[in-house]
């Protein structure tokens, strides 16, 4: 699976959009971009995933660049409950249940 690079930490004001970047320059054509988050001491929680098109669900939006070498997770109106570590993971969808977690981005939402 391709390696990802994320900033170690970011701050965001409550109510504003949080934009979390991820670089995955070695991604191959059949690898997907997944985002999970881990709120303190809890198990990771799935947020969203995509292949090449932008995706949106009730939690977030995922913007993938045309060359697929980077992506951005957008939380449109961050709340204090969104404070967590956010993991960007690149994997094949035939990789079963193998997720390779990097260090992630620690997002702090401030009032």
Give the interface with another protein as residue ranges (CB under 8 A): 32, 34, 36, 41-46, 49, 87, 93-94, 96-104
Residue 4 to residue 34: CA distance in whole angstroms:
11
CA–CA distance, 54 with 63 (Å, rounded to integer):
5
**Is the CB of 49 or the CB of 63 nearer to another protein?**
49
- The nearest distance, CB 15 to another protein, in angstroms, is 28
Is there a contact between 6 and 35 (Cβ–Cβ < 8 Å)? no
Nearer to another protein, 67 or 94 (CB): 94
Nearer to another protein, 46 or 54 (CB): 46
């Amino acid at each position: 699976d391709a390696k990802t690079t994320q900033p170690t930490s970011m701050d965001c004001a409550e109510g504003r959009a949080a934009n979390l970047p991820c670089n995955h320059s070695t991604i191959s054509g059949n690898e997907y971009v997944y985002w999970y988050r881990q709120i303190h001491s809890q198990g990771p929680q799935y947020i969203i995933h995509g292949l090449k098109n932008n995706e949106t669900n009730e939690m977030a939006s995922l913007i993938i660049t045309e060359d697929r070498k980077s992506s951005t997770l957008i939380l449109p109106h961050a709340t204090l409950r969104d404070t967590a570590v956010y993991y960007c993971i690149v994997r094949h969808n035939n990789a079963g249940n193998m997720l390779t977690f990097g260090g992630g981005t620690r997002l702090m939402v401030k009032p």
